[in-house]
Structure 1
Amino acid sequence: MKIDKLSFVDRAAAQLRLEIVHGRMLPGARLTEIDLSEQLGTGRGTVRAALSALEAEDLIVKQPYSGWSVRDISEKELWETYTLRGALEGLAARLAAIGNNRETESKLKAAFVRLEKAEQSEDRGERVDADLGFHRTIVDLAGHASLSRQYFGLSNKFEWLYRWSENHWPSRIDLTSWHRPIVEAILLGDPDAAEKAIRKHGESSLADDLRDFAELRRRSA
């Protein structure tokens, strides 16, 4: 019985996660256990457990006396997420460069080729998937289990913000030119340059998103 119960929770969390990450549940939207229970066809206890799981992933928040809601977007949220991601990926790029070998070269080049194809296709969904896949590849290549757990525990939030960004303003970057310096530094086995390249990439992305978020807020005021 316990295994079945956990399975229901996992399925409910997976469905809610998909709705949030792909923007079908908007940032700041209120979430009630009763409504979600009816929509998912499951008990409130299952919904409550699923919401708690998503709270741990930083996708939703629970406020005293006001209940659950999808995490909202703000300048502070963007800054915190990008700087945390930059710190984790900076370490990953450094370690990947230090451990550079044939496997590193093969996997990194394959991830970069996917970026090139996504850029040529101009398919927005594939752009997002290829970009996220490239960064996840670097974390995998770091060979650091604790780092991977921390990173992948927040990967759904990273994807949520990325997809939200892509859906609210036109694509601004050329995927290949933005990621090539990271590839080159890692393949050269230069940990300082690798960390610097991926941090610069993150800082540029943050600057773009903050600028466009301010413009979006100005237009909706």
Structure 2
Amino acid sequence: MSQSGGWEVEINRQIQLFDKQAKRYAKPLNQNSFNYRLRKKLLQSANGDILELSVGAGTNFQFYSKDAKITAVDFSPIMIERARIRAAQETLDVVFLKANVEEAELEDNRFDTVISTLSLCSYPNPEKVLARMVHWVKPDGQILLMEHGLSTNPVFAWLQNKANPFLLKRLGCHQNRDILKLVGASSLRINKIESFWLNSVHLIWASPRNK
């Protein structure tokens, strides 16, 4: 099998995995939950022309201003169906693009805010996605990330490494990526970081470094 053929098989497998999880992703967040509070804390900074990558079932829509203009990308058609329902419930102006984020065709220097929440764990090439964020955001725009990865706690990190093969196969999600290292090596300028859960979950406020 060619390298490109293997990549297509992997992407198709991921699409099937996330299609199956769409119903779970569409469940409303408990407003007292850690997940809800972190998303709200990060996304209150979102403004202007917003690009959300791997939008899933539209969980973040509840945190956006009603007058926001949103472009939402995801490769799962069933996730997008769920997100359309959520957008209508929230009366938001959303343009949906069904595409693999690593290959999506979007205008450079267009967006005021680029958002990724819990998606860098799933891309085959997260470095490529971070580089594309910098191209898509305006020179004075912002990049907002909520991501999980390898803990600095050795016991928890050991558990993450042990669980990774099973959870990657079942959920399409890497548990042990070093998110801060990935972001630090990218063209993002990190303006602020808040870390939680033994330094395994991070809120990152960033901007493009090379513009």
- TM-score, structure 2 length as denominator? 0.28
Greater Cα radius of gyration, structure 1 or 2: 1
- TM-score, structure 1 length as denominator? 0.27
Higher strand share: 2
Higher relative contact order (CA 8 A, sep 6+): 1
